Amino acid sequence: MKDLVILVADKNMEYAIKGILSRPEALSIRQINFYLFVHPQNDSGCLNDGAHFLRTSLSTHTHALVLFYREGCGRENMTRKQLEERVEAELYRSGWQQAAAVVLDPELEIWVWSGSPHVAEILGWRSLQVDLNRWLIKKG
CATH of the domain at 51: 3.40.50
Query: Which domain range does residue 139 map to?
Result: 113-140
Question: Is 80 found in the same domain as 126?
Answer: no
Domains in the chain, number: 2
pTM here is 0.78
Question: Is 67 found in the same domain as 27?
Answer: yes
Question: Is 118 found in the same domain as 99?
Answer: no
pLDDT, average across residues 12-20 = 90
Question: Which pLDDT score, from 0 to 100, does residue 135 have?
Answer: 76
pLDDT band per the 50, 70, 90 thresholds, residue 31? very high
Question: Is 129 found in the same domain as 71?
Answer: no
> What would the pLDDT profile of 69-128 be if each residue is shown by its tens digit?
998 899 989 999 999 999 999 999 999 999 999 998 866 555 566 666 666 666 666 655
Question: Is 32 found in the same domain as 90?
Answer: yes
The counts of H helices and E strands in the chain are 7, 4
b vs e for 54-90, b when ≥16 Cβ sit within 10 Å of the residue's Cβ? beebeeebbbbbbbbbbeebebeebeeeebbebbbeb
User: Could you write out the three-class secondary structure of 84-122?
Assistant: HHHHHHHHHHCCCCCEEEEEECCCHHHHHCCCCHHHHHH
Question: Is 61 found in the same domain as 15?
Answer: yes
